[in-house]
Structure 1
Amino acid sequence: MSLSVEEILRLPGLESLVLRAGARNVHRSVRWSYVAENVGIADWVMGGELVFVTGINHTRDEANLLQLVREGVASGIAGIVILTGDEFIRRIPQSVIHLADVEGLPLIEQPYALKMVIVTHLIGTALVQMTQTKHSRRDILGQLLSGDFPSLEIVRQRARHLDLPLDVPRRLVALRLSGVDTLFREHSPEEAERALQLTRQRLLDHLENWQQGRVDRLPVVVQGDLFVLLLAEVERDELATLAGELRQDLAPLCAFLGLSARADSCAEYPRALLEARQALDVAEGLRPAAGLCDYRELGVLRLLRAIPERTVIDQFMKDTLGALSDAGRKQPYLLVETLDALIQEGGNALRAAQRLGIHRNTLNQRIARIENLSGQSLDDAQFRLNASVALLIWRMSNAPRHQ
């Protein structure tokens, strides 16, 4: 539980603090404050700190301030506060502001006239109070997700008191870091654990930031290695974009997403979480290009996920669709996409042609090629069933698409 940089900047009594850089990451959680008394900070922080730089004990020239920003970024601190005044650090060099902004590290200027004892007292007090509030909010959501609560009415009363908007239909998203086993194989336990915790914090910060401004926002809930979003309104494209951002932000680890069907009330959260987790399991197994799976679209994939050997699924796809792909062509998946359109339109050739934006005669020519290359007839119910399943896997896979 923690306070964000943005929330600290809004604390009464700290109005003279000014954000100079890193505005896009003011959502970052501040675990605690730390006053830098050494030349560097890398050996003295663990991630999540708001680091105060005074210049009292050491000469803080431009080179040293740039070093502190770089070390802060590498260590995963929440932000850096530089005290300025006539006696020590007169001003923050523009190069330091530029570097912090490029790296996305919140950089705050504090006048020496604002005493450190006041700042740390206000932040410490707010951290304790906010910790209690956030703990209560996440406790309520955790109870609802597990279905383990004394009374739904009591939960609703607590939620109203803590300003938790529960009476809104929601869809749940489950996320989990992938690649953790590789991390621990390739690094020492100490290095791997540190990298894992920093990545988990980056993931939480990213999710909290992504939710900023969303309608009826609820806190991100962390259950073990699972991160849960409870979203009032969400489009699949939004989540695909989020998954892409996470691939870049969390590398070399990544995170896949599982999306539930709609929960019309908070009493349905346990069911929705189960659906989101099932979708997540499929996403981690099939590793779709979009990075996510929607429970409503899984169907037979939930059965295929139970097959322990992925090679069996790959061979089924090759046997069913392999003859329709031609890597030597400019559009190697043209016939696969044509078959997909036909299946999606229930065999209606006119609607399939419209979906593909081609003439009906062109579609007929492609159908003839599909049947010739596959040795199967589209009138054969068994082939249509096999093709439907193979195409479902294909759409969820990393197979390239014709643009």
Structure 2
Amino acid sequence: MSLTIEEILALPGLQGMSLRAGARNLQRNVRWSYVAENEGIAEWVMGGELVFVTGINHPRDEANLMRLVADGNASGIAGLVILTGGTFIQRIPDTVVALAEQCGLPLIEQPYLLKMVIVTHLIGTALVQMAQVKRSRHDILAQLLSGDYPSLATARQRAAHLQLPLDGPRHLVALRLSAVGTLFVNHAPEEAERVLQHTRQAVQDHLDIWNRGLHDALPVIVQGDLFILLLAERQAIRAELSILYQGLQAVTGDMPLFMGLATKVEDCANYRQALNEARQALEVAESLRPDTGLCDFSELGVLRLLQAIGDRSVIDRFVRQTLGRMIESRRKHPNSLIETLDALLQENGNALKTAQRLNVHRNTINQRIQRIEHHSGQSLDDPLFRMNASVALLVWRMTEAQRQDRT
């Protein structure tokens, strides 16, 4: 586990520290502590720091503290600690508290009488201890993901000692920020690196917080440019990942992020295979750029063929030609024919099962079949049309049209 703001505030000996703002982000990870000695902090932090402000070496008036909050928020620090009392900072202005709350930046007040040497020692010791546990847990998972471990029995024994729940089926998801090359083309190297590291830290923090709320969660693994999730079996995995993706879009800014989902694995011995599947799905997602950001390995067969088409407009044109005439824009539900066609194909043309799947009357399905064949000029008995429609629907499910329909 990582050490969070909440865990730091709960450390024995730090009861005198009090949270003044940013309670909704107490799960932010703290990488290390940093005492700010300069007027500003933007040039001196890279994200994830718990920044301490004493006022000893630089005057800290209201305007300066407001700037520190703004700079800290923009730089992705974990939290800001302001020492009050004594002859330096007497109190934290209400405007500073309000700005920190607005930004969601954890703002902590520390009495000046609580010595910095004690605070930094307690936090540093806890960080080292937690880092050791985290390193061991990540080491086990990294070995299982690479397939390079002494024995499965040893890996399981270590996992049990470190309380890693390896038993049970898992879904592996690989995530990656895209367009990194474009970032360095459009910005100076220093600025591009700062944006990249800040965004990566924001993504990891978001994943860590999201992951902690799950049952039998394993740590988020960072392997090269990949973020790897190992999720306990869940029925609504794609719906949950869709919600996760929407949340991640708020922190990635102009850098797109994509996800690859592997088929379910029953045992930790198969994590390496799952990672390979997720990588393949991720490559297709980056190529086809689905609206949901996700590609499922189970759908990869046809999608890999589509990925080989260099001109995306060819795929879009094929979808429009196959399905476009079935979109009835003047009706209350313009995509009802496409949804019916999709259900029919999934039920192998069985109209009764299709009606049950869509929760409509059998006669309604028959009427929609007639409209489908009328608009498309094709017969559902034609195997070529069914094949083309299946491919077009696979792409359609990953496009803006589906998102607009859900909205």
Q: Return the TM-score normalized by structure 2.
A: 0.92
Residue 330 of structure 1, CA deviation: 5.5
Report which stretch shifted further, 315-324 or 93-102: 315-324
The answer for the alignment partner of 1:283 in structure 2 is: 285
Q: Within the alignment, does 1:316 sit opposite 2:318 as a pair?
A: yes
- The equivalent position to 1:302 in structure 2, one of 293, 301, 304, is 304
Q: Within the alignment, does 1:25 sit opposite 2:25 as a pair?
A: yes
Counterpart mapping for 1:64-103 below 5 A: 64-103=64-103
- Counterpart of 2:152, as a letter, is L
Residue 30 of structure 1, CA deviation: 2.1
Residue 206 of structure 1, CA deviation: 0.5
Report which stretch shifted further, 192-201 or 296-305: 296-305
Residue 71 of structure 1, CA deviation: 0.9
Residue 2 of structure 1, CA deviation: 6.0
Q: Secondary structure at the match of 1:51?
A: strand
Q: Separation in 1 of the partners of 2:273 and 2:166?
A: 16
Q: Separation in 1 of the partners of 2:233 and 2:209?
A: 16
Q: Secondary structure at the match of 1:30?
A: coil
Q: Within the alignment, does 1:210 sit opposite 2:213 as a pair?
A: no
**Identical-pair percentage:** 67
Contact 1:286–1:397 under 8 Å retained in 2? no
Q: Separation in 2 of the partners of 1:20 and 1:362?
A: 59
Q: Secondary structure at the match of 2:218?
A: coil
Report which stretch shifted further, 177-186 or 376-385: 177-186
Contact 1:244–1:291 under 8 Å retained in 2? no
- Counterpart of 2:375, as a letter, is L
Report how many residues are paired.
403
- Change in Cα spacing, 1:402 to 1:116, as seen in structure 2 (3 Å) is closer
The answer for the alignment partner of 1:270 in structure 2 is: 272
Q: Secondary structure at the match of 1:300?
A: helix
Counterpart mapping for 1:98-247 below 5 A: 98-234=98-234, 235=236, 236-247=238-249
Residue 176 of structure 1, CA deviation: 0.4
Residue 326 of structure 1, CA deviation: 5.1
Q: Secondary structure at the match of 2:397?
A: helix
Q: Separation in 2 of the partners of 1:216 and 1:2?
A: 16
Contact 2:45–2:77 under 8 Å retained in 1? yes
Cα-to-partner distance string for 1:149-177 (whole Å, 9 max, x where unaligned): 11112212222222212123211111001
Residue 382 of structure 1, CA deviation: 1.4
Contact 1:215–1:233 under 8 Å retained in 2? no
Report which stretch shifted further, 67-76 or 40-49: 40-49
Q: Separation in 1 of the partners of 2:336 and 2:152?
A: 53
- Counterpart of 1:200, as a letter, is R
Residue 218 of structure 1, CA deviation: 1.4
Gaps of 5+ in 2: none
Contact 2:81–2:107 under 8 Å retained in 1? yes
- Counterpart of 1:289, as a letter, is D
- Change in Cα spacing, 1:357 to 1:170, as seen in structure 2 (3 Å) is closer
Report which stretch shifted further, 179-188 or 349-358: 349-358
Q: Secondary structure at the match of 1:402?
A: helix
- Counterpart of 1:338, as a letter, is T
Cα-to-partner distance string for 1:93-143 (whole Å, 9 max, x where unaligned): 222222112211111111112100111122222223322221121111100
Q: Separation in 2 of the partners of 1:355 and 1:5?
A: 47
Residue 31 of structure 1, CA deviation: 2.4
Contact 1:172–1:260 under 8 Å retained in 2? yes
Q: Secondary structure at the match of 2:119?
A: helix
Cα-to-partner distance string for 1:269-289 (whole Å, 9 max, x where unaligned): 111112222222222222222
Residue 81 of structure 1, CA deviation: 0.4
Cα-to-partner distance string for 1:232-288 (whole Å, 9 max, x where unaligned): 144322111000011112111132222222221110111111222222222222222
- Counterpart of 2:255, as a letter, is L
Q: Secondary structure at the match of 2:50?
A: strand
Contact 1:97–1:107 under 8 Å retained in 2? yes
Q: Separation in 1 of the partners of 2:248 and 2:300?
A: 23
- Counterpart of 1:68, as a letter, is L
The answer for the alignment partner of 1:256 in structure 2 is: 258
- Counterpart of 2:261, as a letter, is L
Contact 1:334–1:402 under 8 Å retained in 2? no
The answer for the alignment partner of 2:405 in structure 1 is: 402
The answer for the alignment partner of 1:375 in structure 2 is: 377
Q: Secondary structure at the match of 2:214?
A: coil
Residue 147 of structure 1, CA deviation: 0.4
- Counterpart of 1:94, as a letter, is D
Cα-to-partner distance string for 1:280-313 (whole Å, 9 max, x where unaligned): 2222222222222332344422333344443332
Q: Separation in 1 of the partners of 2:320 and 2:43?
A: 53
- Counterpart of 1:129, as a letter, is Q
Residue 357 of structure 1, CA deviation: 4.5
Residue 50 of structure 1, CA deviation: 1.1
Report which stretch shifted further, 291-300 or 77-86: 291-300
- Counterpart of 1:128, as a letter, is V
RMSD over equivalenced CA pairs, Å: 2.2
Residue 208 of structure 1, CA deviation: 0.4
Report which stretch shifted further, 146-155 or 285-294: 285-294
Gaps of 5+ in 1: none
- Counterpart of 2:36, as a letter, is A
Contact 2:46–2:197 under 8 Å retained in 1? no
Q: Separation in 1 of the partners of 2:15 and 2:169?
A: 38
Q: Separation in 1 of the partners of 2:301 and 2:104?
A: 41
